Amino acid sequence: MSEAMLRLYVTTTAWVQDRYTGRKDRGATAVEYGLLVGLMAAVVIAAIAILGPKINALFDGVKLPASS
């Protein structure tokens, strides 16, 4: 019975180590996602800077007249 328990312990320990510490590329994946988020933020900022005045002029053209 103790041999079976030892075998179960060794198997479980190996599985846990492979599952939670076997991935060495987690840091690289996080860096890649960070770069993608940074690139998307730069594109959004550039689009707002380029299109901002045009959109502002468009909204100024559809203002309702002031009521007196």
Instruction: Quickly state the pLDDT bin for 44 (edges 50, 70, 90).
Output: very high
Cα gap 36→28, rounded to integer Å: 12
Beta strands in 1-68 (DSSP E): none
Torsion over CA: 31, 34, 38, 39 (sign) = positive
Between residues 17 and 1, the one the model is more confident about: 17
Cα gap 55→25, rounded to integer Å: 43
State pLDDT tens for residues 4-42: 888 888 888 888 777 777 666 666 778 888 899 999 999
